[in-house]
Amino acid sequence: MRITKLHGLAILVTAGITGAIWYHHPFSPSRDQEHAASPAGDSGLKTDLHETSLMLPWRQDVLVLTPWLAPIVWEGTFSRDILNAQYLQKNLVTGVVTFAVEKYVQFIEGFMTSANKYFLAGHQVNFYLFTDSPEKVSHLQMAPENHLFVIPVQNGSRWQDISRCRMRIISSHIQKQFQHEVDYLYSMDINVQLLAHIGVEIIDALVATISSWQVTSQQENKAHGTRPEPQGDFHYTASFYGGSVSEVHKLTTACFRGLGEDRENGIEAWGHHERHLNKYLLQHKPTRLLSPEYYWDTELSPSVIHVKRMCSVHRDSQRCSCQS
């Protein structure tokens, strides 16, 4: 990952800001007090736990803190047992939104099977599957705490319409449904498989996943294609993001409007939805970043990746590109 001057400054001061990390954790008592006094306090989690801290001993090989003091989650920087104990006390429900239209219907079973096993295992999760072929969704055995909701949706005639409609659908369903059913909401691509546990360490008000291209060398990037250029400190993938319901509503609404303005101005290109996601997150800094462990979309394998938790799936083989 390219280290800027700001990144270097963040690394230098990490020894003196463990308290800042603890503050940024959603179970933090001090953060809870702030949200309790704030009109937008629904994204804060109230807790009576006043001990332990989020981070384990610092990893020295990766950036674990952003210049704006948001934690970056890597393997070895958290204790899932501690977080699970705190999360379970809150009786929270997390939602996952995914879309399977046209040829992407083929990925439903692989995605749902792996997500049912690895995504917030042991906690309540609502999976919202939007598809233009609900009749093709076979019966899937879900864990007792998980629920699958299949929601019919019309497919757009063009990929540009699909990207724009995805943001609109998430935004509108938050208003009429999701806000009454879940506390946190995450958007995930359907053509992925989970390979390892993704737990409550991802929970925060506004969460983004760093693109895997940012932890690879320039030579590797050139060998595998065009590298996305960061609009700010990081480049985030649109394949996995989320947060509190209220924050995700703000994000998807802004992206949908931006995509609509682009269309009116005749600006349409592949990846525009991701560009608008990054534009929003540049102006509204994420409160937590997930390392590329949480979405690995290439066959690149730098040593800093200790666990590949979720990977893209080859369309032909329906296997993760990074699966051994």
* 274 marked as binding residue: yes
The reply to whether 247 belongs to the active site is no
Buried/exposed code over 85-116 (b: 16+ C-beta within 10 A; e: otherwise) = ebbeebebbbbbbbbbbeebbebbebbbebbb
204 is in an annotated binding site: no
Tell me how far apart the alpha carbons of residues 21 and 244 are, in angstroms, rounded to a whole number: 19
Q: Is 233 annotated as a binding residue?
A: no
Dihedral of CA atoms 101, 114, 43, 67 in degrees, nearest 10, equals -100
Is 104 marked within a binding site? yes
Contact between residue 107 and residue 137 where contact means Cβ atoms under 8 Å apart: no
Q: Which amino acid is at 224?
A: H
Ligand-binding annotation for 100, yes or no, is yes
Closest CA to 290 of 203, 190, 195: 203
Candidates 201, 247, 274, 293; catalytic one: 274
Residue 105 assigned to a binding site: no
Angle between the N-to-C axes of helices 272-283 and 245-264, in degrees from 0 to 180, rounded to the nearest 10:
130
By annotation, the residues acting in catalysis are 274
Give the residue ranges of the annotated binding site for Mn(2+).
Answer: 189
Give the residue ranges of the annotated binding site for UDP-N-acetyl-alpha-D-galactosamine.
Answer: 99-101, 104
Give the residue ranges of the annotated binding site.
Answer: 99-101, 104, 189, 274, 297
